[in-house]
Chains A and B, each alone.
Chain A
Amino acid sequence: MNLEQKIEAILFFKGEPITRKKLSEFLEIGQVEINESIEKLKESLKNRGIVLQEKSARPDSHSDGENEITLGTSPELSDLIEKLQKEELDKELSKASLETLSIILYKNGVGRSLIDYIRGVNSSFTLRMLSVRGLIEKSIDLTDSRRYIYKPTFQLLSFLGVKSVEELPDYALINGSIESASQNLAEELKNEKENETSI
């Protein structure tokens, strides 16, 4: 059995997300080889009924060992599987939720202060609601342990029918363009203001 098949079997058996690093540790194979096999697996699933989803641990991380992967049903079969679902799915999102989610998604992880800065309003309530719905999760900012970063969950990616944030419409455009430059400027200005007021 090749490595690709082993990984496929493990993902199926676990039925829940696992980090690339854990796979490497469990199979006792180097991360590079594991990553290659994962890419091959994604390729071979292209015309199948299941897909491989990936969620980053940090905003700008590709194939990072801390990233989690999991298997899920193909988004093309959404209607079919939905019929098998017992619970009705809540597909409604308020404007506030949509704004907040789009910021969190396209930045792939962001702190509350930047969300508030972009929206011009206090987002605590909206963030709490989205957390309760399981669409976002909170983790400690590695650069500043006093702050939290809000990230998309697998559930959010699943509802959007994307295997990773990179599949979001215009994702590459947003992250590689002038837009992001102005956003960085906005971040700087905002940080300046925060430093001013804290003095």
Chain B
Amino acid sequence: MNSEETEIYKVKTGTFEGPFHLLLSLIEERKFFINDLSLAQVTEDYLNYVSKIEKQNPSEISSFIVVAATLILIKSKSLLPNLNLSSEEESDIHNLEDRLKLYELYTRLAGKIKNIFGKKIIFAPLERKNEFLVFLPDEQITKESMMTFAHNAIDKIPKKEFLPKVEVKKVISIEEIISKLTERIENTLQMNFKDFAGAGKTKEEKVVVIISFLAMLELVRQGLLHAIQESNFEDIIIKKNSENSKISEPSPSES
């Protein structure tokens, strides 16, 4: 990026109120009209901007991403004219154009509002002060009734709700199980899944079975194990894959 482009980027990365604001600015900068041709051309800049703000404001990004999806669709169609779009996709594209035009309309109107706001004000009459204040207690106000009113008011104050707290139990790490399994398979040529994973009678044991299964699948994926099951519901026989003896680091994941 040469220095002129960085200059333009500096000006552009002021905060944009939303995806339409950004999109409209990109289009108006180039003095385009709103149509699928111009939208296709600004798609790249739009995506660049979105990836920039993604790091800063991940929470506000969702509306930007929805629009990005449609822009990519438009760009794809412009690059591949023979691309067949579903009717839903076509309507998404028209929708975006229409909405952007609608947004542009209200942006223009907002400019007109800005021009007249606070310039020529119509003032309402000031509140008149009473000459003298008179305290006129109602018959209903007695010592007893005041206590009742006060009690009622206090009862109506919302009470703080205490949410029950639960301690999060320690999780079983899938990395641990993968290590265990690789260790065992290193030393034996084959073993039964049931021996490794356990019977799985209690709830905790069932979790171990599930994690062990996942660990086994991961190691099969890495090419370290063969898993064989003779027929449905039979035990699974795990064999070391002698063709590939390198064992890689398990990928970080917790279950």
Contacts and interface: CB of A to CB of B under 8 A. Distances in A.
Contacts of B117: 91, 93, 159-160
B99 A117 contact: yes
Interface in B19-49: 19-21
A183 interface: yes
B17 A102 contact: no
A185 B103 CA distance: 14
A179 interface: yes
By secondary structure, the B interface counts as helix
B157 interface: no
B13 interface: no
Interface stretch (A1-9, A36-44, A81-89, A143-151): A81-89
B121 A99 contact: no
B14 to A, nearest CB: 11
B49 to A, nearest CB: 15
Contact of A76 (B111, B112, B120): B120
18 contacts: A15-B124, A15-B125, A71-B125, A72-B122, A98-B111, A99-B110, A106-B109, A118-B102, A119-B17, A157-B122, A158-B123, A159-B117, A161-B120, A161-B122, A170-B112, A174-B105, A174-B109, A186-B99
Contacts of A76: 120
Contacts of B137: none
B214 interface: no
By secondary structure, the A interface counts as helix
Contacts of B107: 99
Interface in B67-120: 67, 95, 98-99, 101-103, 105-107, 109-114, 116-120
A159 B115 CA distance: 11
Interface of A: 15-16, 51, 53, 70-76, 78, 81-82, 85, 89, 91, 93, 95-96, 98-99, 101-103, 105-106, 117-122, 154, 157-163, 168-170, 174, 179, 182-183, 185-186, 189
Contacts of A161: 116, 119-122
Given A161-B119, A186-B102, A120 B125 contact: no
Nearest to B118: A91
Nearest to A121: B18
